[in-house]
Every structure is written in structure tokens, then in C-alpha cells.
């Protein structure tokens, strides 16, 4: 009798758990806080470079960064600024509606996540990327990141409005 009750309770718990999982929404990574911290860190690099401009998130550059981050995530043979369609950062920004010149920094990390400190160190110790981050003409920015179990991609697109 006790064993029968335990089996029925166990079956009910398993059934309820299965039902809950069936109706639960799928999880989506929300990297907004991380992306915002990247913008803050780049702003700090600009302050170190004696820039007195304000760095503002530009939705059109954010869109260009998103396109490229997703392209890099889905096309693992890519490794930098050129898209799978041959596009450049300037072309992607123009296609997103941004008028002005742009530059881009990209990080491809072989893990589920990358910390803001790791990312900043990676870009800061790359002379070309450090120059991009410290360029006072870049007053607009868009940062997007994508994650999978074995890869994190971060793209920052910096803009100087026309």
C-alpha cells in the first residue's frame, strides 16, 4: 500500500514536471547588460585618451553590429570584419541607414561566455583595436553579442556621423 502510494506520487510529480516543461517558454540569452558594459568600458578608454565627446548608442550601428555578430556565429569560417556576403563594416552600417564613417572591433571567444574584463583586455592589447576605441571622432556606437555553447561573438561598430 505504501509502495503503491509512493509510485502514484512519483508518477504525478513526473507528469506535472513534464507538463510544466512542455509549456515553459524557451530561454533566450539577454546580453543587454553585458553589451552596455562594453559601451561603458569603451567610453572609459576614450576618457583615458582625453576625449571630451559623449559616446551614444546609435540604433543603426547596433543593427549593423547585430547583423555581423549573427553572421559570425552562423558562419564559423569567418573570423573578422568581412561578412559571409563580402560586406564590410562600412557597407553594413550604410545598409542599416547610418550616414558617416565607421570602424569595427570583433571578438570571437571559444566558450559560452566572455567577461567584460577579458574582452577589454583582448581589444586594448591589440594596437589597431585600441586605436579604434580611443578615437575621439567615434561619438556613436553599437555593440551586439551572441552566445552558443562553444562560442561567444562580440561586435562593436563605432561611428563618426556625417
Residue 134 lies in a domain: yes
What pLDDT does 116 receive?
A: 87
- Domain containing residue 112: 28-161
Residue 104 lies in a domain: yes
Give tens-digit pLDDT for 122-158: 999 999 999 999 999 999 999 999 999 989 999 999 9
Residue 149 lies in a domain: yes
Residue 130 lies in a domain: yes
What pLDDT does 77 receive?
A: 77
Per-residue pLDDT band at 76 (split at 50, 70, 90): confident
d(CA 98, CA 161): 8
Residue 18 lies in a domain: no
What pLDDT does 27 receive?
A: 36
Per-residue pLDDT band at 98 (split at 50, 70, 90): very high
- The dihedral through the CA atoms of 125, 131, 132, 135 has a sign that is positive
Residue 139 lies in a domain: yes
Question: By the 8 A CB rule, do 141 and 39 touch?
Answer: yes
What pLDDT does 114 receive?
A: 86
What pLDDT does 1 receive?
A: 55
What pLDDT does 35 receive?
A: 95
What the block records as the C-alpha cell of 93 is 552600417
What pLDDT does 23 receive?
A: 39
CATH assignment of the domain containing 47: 3.40.33.10
Residue 124 lies in a domain: yes
Grid coordinates 517558454 are at which residue? 25
Residue 70 lies in a domain: yes
Q: Could you give the number of structural domains in the chain?
A: 1
Residue 58 or 113, more confident:
58
Which span out of 12-21, 35-44, 70-79 was modeled with the highest average pLDDT? 35-44
50-69: average pLDDT: 96
Q: What's the whole-number average pLDDT of the chain? A: 85
SS3 content of the chain, % helix, strand, coil (to 5): 50, 20, 30
Amino acid at each position: 500500500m505504501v509502495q503503491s502510494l509512493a509510485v502514484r506520487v512519483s508518477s504525478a510529480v513526473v507528469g506535472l514536471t513534464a507538463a510544466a516543461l512542455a509549456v515553459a517558454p524557451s530561454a533566450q540569452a539577454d546580453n543587454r547588460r553585458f553589451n552596455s558594459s562594453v559601451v561603458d568600458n569603451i567610453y572609459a578608454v576614450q576618457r583615458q585618451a582625453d576625449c571630451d565627446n559623449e559616446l551614444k548608442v546609435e540604433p543603426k550601428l547596433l543593427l549593423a553590429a547585430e547583423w555581423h555578430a549573427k553572421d559570425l556565429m552562423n558562419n564559423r569560417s569567418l573570423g573578422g570584419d568581412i561578412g559571409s556576403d563580402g560586406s564590410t563594416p562600412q557597407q553594413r552600417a550604410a545598409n542599416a541607414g547610418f550616414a558617416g564613417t565607421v570602424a569595427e572591433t570583433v571578438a570571437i571567444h571559444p566558450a559560452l561566455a566572455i567577461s567584460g574584463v577579458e574582452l577589454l583586455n583582448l581589444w586594448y592589447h591589440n594596437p589597431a583595436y585600441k586605436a579604434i576605441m580611443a578615437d575621439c571622432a567615434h561619438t556613436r556606437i553599437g555593440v551586439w553579442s551572441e552566445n552558443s555553447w562553444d562560442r561567444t561573438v562580440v561586435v562593436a561598430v563605432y561611428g563618426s556621423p556625417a
